[in-house]
Amino acid sequence: MADGTRNADDIFKEFKEHSITEFFRKNSQMLGYAGKVRSLTTVVHEYLSNSLDAAEEASILPDIEIRIKELAENKYGVYVSDNGPGIPPKHIGKALASVLTGTKFHRYMQQRGQQGIGAGGCTIFALITTGRPIHVRSNTGKEAYECDLSIDIKGNKPLVNNMQKIAQDFRGLAIEGEFGDVKYEKSEHGVYEYVRRTALSNPHASIRLVEPDGNEAVFPRSVDTMPRRPKQILPHPLGISASDLLDFAHTSESRKVTSFLVDSFSRVTHDKVRELTGIAKDVDFEKEPRQLTWEDATKIVNAFSQVKWIGPDLDSLSGIGEKQVEIAIKNILAPNFVSVVERKPRVFKGGIPFLVEVGIAYGGSAGRQNGEGASGSILRFANKVPLLFDSGSCAISEAVNGIDWKRYSIRKFNEEPVSVLVNVSSVYIPYSGVGKQAIAQEDEIVEEIKLAVMDAARKLQKFLSGERHRNAQEGAYNTITRYVSQLSSDLQEITGKDKVAIEKELKALVEKKYSALFGRGGEGKEEDGGAAVQNAS
């Protein structure tokens, strides 16, 4: 136009549709690639999580090797190999070089990765920081091959190049890539700490890390049994929203709402449906699920909350396990005391079950080590995966920091050698960001974590009270024994009795008084010793 203004047609000529890959290329920080140290840890996190999931799904005890090599300033090579089932060649592109594809997102069962972004995000990050593709070697037991992977950013399509068969002299998957704008640092946010915590929450795995300086850190498996494999289940009716109910209804193949409820949700029987019909009397339960309205769905959801339900099915969840948590903590932290609690499963919105496990370690290598000693640390995990970043916005941090630790004999949490391990297991972890480093502060989850931590902390309180009583007893014992020799000399002068005999009898009396310190009863000493000292007096 003459006056320089633009009409709608002119503006919308620039209207374009962009792929999800293009979005993440420009917003890689949303995938966890923000900061050099964090970016490198994120790469290892994605590949290591995939290896653990794959091995467990194939019922294989994981043997994983990670090698980090410095190629140039802020440029590193990352190699991760496992002994898992491998990936068939026809699926390799979508598995490792595409975003929002995979085997996990659509299944209602617990797994480490969920969004189908992880490995594809690594490939994008390699391309935008070095321009180099990812190199892959895989052996499924039937066929072994290697290839290079990159991504068509605009089309979100995997590009598989240089595919060729190789010798079947290994089993599993090996991924190698070059990544820029990253840094290896041995800090609480670095690769070493991430691997150490992964070993802590996955005691059935053997992990070997070769650092850039050539140092090898080996974390052998602590247990030789596989964790219970979670099963795919139906969602629980508690916590389901009207929107969730309509989503399920509109894709249901059931002919009636009654059969739809039984077929689509766990713990819903025909008897429970009869209870629901008695509560939501205005809803026609005989019509097709697709005909449900928002008002119908709201009434059914309200009816859900008025019916007594059996808890969610445990088959969908697989925690670390109380015994396994204790073994792992003892092996890696070597504390003076450990307390482990596993709560019963609960549900949060969406009818999603979740399980909370807590381990508290005190003394030894527990806590955050520093030059002056140790301070309290919170070890956060989601589906056994360490969460090293974004702690301030995490439900676990909110719950642990919200506890009055003085009630449990911890005067100042940040000044004592204590580690609080919290693992939340769920079919769906409500992460607060795409980077999957913090759990959203859902009220049900925060409250459940608090209850679990307080359960474990009560056991710690008893231990610390006992230790402080023992220390007080030791102090009193040491103070008294310092004066035994002088008192013996004084009694010798008064009574003329032998000093050695008096000192021996006094020591017997003191040891009898504080016999608990020495783990023995001191039977017979009090009567004899008391009489001797009385005679000496």
pLDDT of residue 64: 98
Give percent of the chain above pLDDT 70.
82
* The pLDDT of residue 502: 77
Partner residues linked to 146 by β-bridges:
137, 164
Most confident residue range from 65-69, 380-384, 390-394: 65-69
Rounded to whole angstroms, how far apart are CA atoms 247 and 104?
19
How far lies 367's CA from each of 196, 360, 370, in Å?
14, 10, 9
Residue 226 has pLDDT above 80, yes or no: yes
149: nearest Cα among 104, 209, 99, 208? 99
495 compared with 521, residue with greater pLDDT:
495
Tokens representing 135 are: 């190199």
Lowest mean pLDDT: which of 332-341, 429-438, 509-518?
A: 509-518
pLDDT reading at 526 higher than 70: no
Structural domains in the chain, CATH included, are 20-219 (3.30.565.10), 242-304 (1.10.8), 315-464 (3.30.230.10), 483-536 (no CATH)
Considering only residues 507 and 64, tell me which one the structure prediction assigns the higher pLDDT: 64
Across 29-33, 253-257, 342-346, 433-437, least confident range: 29-33
pLDDT at 111: 57
Say what the pLDDT of residue 67 is. 98
pLDDT the model gives residue 15: 47
14 pLDDT more than 60: no
Q: Whose structure tokens read 């969920």? A: 114
Report whether pLDDT(23) > 70. no
pLDDT band, residue 476 (cuts 50/70/90):
low
For CA atoms 390, 394, 400, 403, the dihedral sign is positive
Which of the two residues, 298 and 240, has the higher pLDDT score? 298
- Looking at residue 107, its pLDDT comes to 45
> Which pTM does this prediction carry?
0.74
Nearest alpha carbon to residue 353 among 421, 302, 422, 429: 429
Structural element, H or E, at residue 158: strand 157-165
What distance in Å separates the CA atoms of residue 363 and residue 352, rounded to the nearest whole number? 36
Helices H, strands E: what count in the chain? 16, 16
Q: Where would I find the H helices in 14-169?
A: 20-26, 36-57, 92-96, 118-130
Measured CA to CA, the distance from residue 311 to residue 379 in angstroms comes to 28
Please give the Cα distance from 192 to 381 (Å, whole number): 16
CA distances from 311 to 292, 354, 507 (A): 26, 11, 61
Contact 448, 343 (CB under 8 A): yes
Q: What integer pLDDT is reported at residue 395 of this predicted model?
A: 96
The average pLDDT across 144-170 equals: 90
Instruction: Report the distance separating Cα 329 and Cα 359, nearest Å.
Output: 8
* 336 touches 380 (CB < 8 A): no
The widest CA-to-CA distance across the chain, in whole angstroms, is 125
What angle, 0 to 180 degrees and rounded to 10, lies between the N-to-C axes of helices 322-333 and 191-201? 140
| pLDDT exceeds cutoff 60 at 278 | yes
Q: Give tens-digit pLDDT for 118-146.
A: 788 899 889 889 999 999 999 999 999 99
User: Would you state the structure tokens that stand for residue 85, as one six-digit string?
Assistant: 């089932």
Mean pLDDT of the chain: 84
